[in-house]
Amino acid sequence: MMGWLQDFLSSLLSGIWGYVVAGAGIVASALGLYLKGRSDAKRKALLDDYETASEIRDRVRKRKDDTVRKYDDAGWRE
């Protein structure tokens, strides 16, 4: 009973089986590239955040030094 259905499906898929595998390979490659791009973007954003934090820290240190100098010159230091 199932013999003719199995024969029909195997004959139908035998002609396009290579295309199905190639299509799956293309989809897998595209997904891999997409995920790689996301991880690269995430890493770049994290590095940019670190650089920004470093710049802010440097500005605060400089401002603090300028403030200390201002108060030192005005005689506030004991």
Instruction: Copy the structure tokens of residue 45.
Output: 């954003």
Does residue 78 fall inside a structural domain? no
Mean pLDDT by 10 residues, the chain (78 residues): 79 84 94 90 81 76 70 59
Does residue 29 fall inside a structural domain? yes
Predicted pLDDT at 76: 58
Does residue 32 fall inside a structural domain? yes
Predicted pLDDT at 28: 95
Does residue 39 fall inside a structural domain? yes
Predicted pLDDT at 13: 81
* Secondary element (H or E) of residue 78: none
At position 53, the amino acid (one-letter code) is A
d(CA 16, CA 71): 82
Domain count, the chain: 1
Angle at 2 between CA 23 and CA 6, to 5 degrees: 25
Instruction: Copy the structure tokens of residue 67.
Output: 């403030």
Residue span of the structural domain in which 69 resides: 3-73
Does residue 17 fall inside a structural domain? yes
